[in-house]
Amino acid sequence: MSQPRSAVVLGAQWGDEGKGKIVDVLSERFSVVARYAGGHNAGHTVIIGGQKFVLQLIPCGVLRPECKGVIGNGVVFDPAAFLSEVKKLREAGLPVDGQLFVSNRAQVILPYHRMIELAAETAPGRTKIGTTRRGIGPAYEDKVHRNGLRIVDLLNSALLRTHIKNACDEKNTIAHALFGTEPLDPKGMYEEYSKMAEQVAPFVTDTAVLLNQELDRGGNVMFEGAQGALLDIDHGTYPFVTSSSSTAGGAVTGTGVAPTRIGTVIGVTKAYVTRVGEGPFPTEINDASAELLRARGQEYGAVTGRPRRCGWLDLPLLRYSNMINGTEWLVVTKMDVMDAFEEIPVCTHYKIDGKVTDMIPADIRGFESIEPVYTTLKGWQESTEGITEWDKLPQRAQEYLRFLEKESKAKIGMVSTGPDRDQTMALPEFEAVLRG
């Protein structure tokens, strides 16, 4: 099997699976890493030699000097957040000039998007989705409404002025009428964003052309997902989802690379499950085991700091994720977190209205009636932290992983045994694929 020319790396659960570390580890084998969806609501934490990097918008590939980073057209782009990250990377001595590129077709997040989202999320009587309140949803709404501002428009001073004035007239009126929000100043907004546009301009290009040319010349491209497959706007646990296509299909629409050019799909799953914010969670636990998982796994949001809800591994959801993404390979993260457990329940099926099923309900009421069917595996209660060879894993840890592989219908390619870049093992078959 030859090395895939391109690969999608995505979260197989509700996000926070450790994709940032895995993209960083794999980026050594790729010439470009392209982010295809989401915005700066998705925090990726990477630890290299003990030094911690939290990237929210910029692809993790930029942490390797020989790897280019691309922010694709499917991303909603906050100029202030982008420039703040660029500044931190420069201060850390990492090259971004000539290595980082932004699509001229990406949509721009502006202050009124944050105003609308914050007001809607906190309004009395509204269903709380659990957003990060950073304007992601309203920016995608404007995109679909064909009333958004793209990067190419941000760089057009006259168009920017007109757009901000018209948008503020509309958004201020709506926000005040619905939520009693104080109006934003379009003049000050224009002055602020026209200055940021000048700093963003050197990074802007037609990234669809860049990516296709890279593939044409024999380069290897990795498509970096944000959030997780179960937060996808179409296929996730709606309405408790994100506003973009976080599944593998989003890599195509979010970058301008054809589906026939995608080589493989790599899904990242924790050895357990977490979720931030509201929404269904069939295997959620609320006892001492959850506290132990949260403490051992440091389960707090990289962007928000919110404590994550914790639960046992949910195989019906993982099988569903693998199906809709065409996942060929699985990467299992936070294996070391499970070291403390004497027994580890794993959900293998659901029972709904007395019937055992693998089917994932489309509606929230269906999720509320789920009774998880568990198989309990023996824990290993030995340290796996930092182990990088399969044969050195405890026997029961190997059995846990092989059970996961058999039941999920995807091959395990890598296992992460700690937060650092070096605390990772690639299994021989996957390593052979990566080496080509």
The residue annotated as part of the active site, out of 16, 24, 142, 336, is 16
Residue 88 buriedness (CB in 10 A; 0-12 / 13-18 / 19+):
middle
Separation of alpha carbons 77 and 167, rounded Å: 17
The answer to whether residue 44 is catalytic is yes
81 Rama class: left (phi>0) / alpha (psi -120 to 50) / beta: alpha
Residue 406 buriedness (CB in 10 A; 0-12 / 13-18 / 19+):
exposed
- Backbone φ and ψ for 38, nearest 5 degrees, come out as 80, -170
The answer to whether residue 16 is catalytic is yes
The residue annotated as part of the active site, out of 24, 40, 44, 336, is 44
- Across the beta sheet with 32-35, the strand order is 204-205, 100-103, 68-71, 32-35, 221-224, 6-11, 264-270, 329-333, 411-416, 424-426
Chain centre to alpha carbon of residue 387: 26
Rg (CA), the chain: 22
- The candidate with the shortest Cα–Cα distance to 243, out of 365, 345, 121, is 121
45 Rama class: left (phi>0) / alpha (psi -120 to 50) / beta: beta
Separation of alpha carbons 320 and 338, rounded Å: 24
Q: H-helix or E-strand containing 377?
A: strand 370-378
Pairing of the two strands 411-416 and 424-426: antiparallel
- Catalytic positions are 16, 44
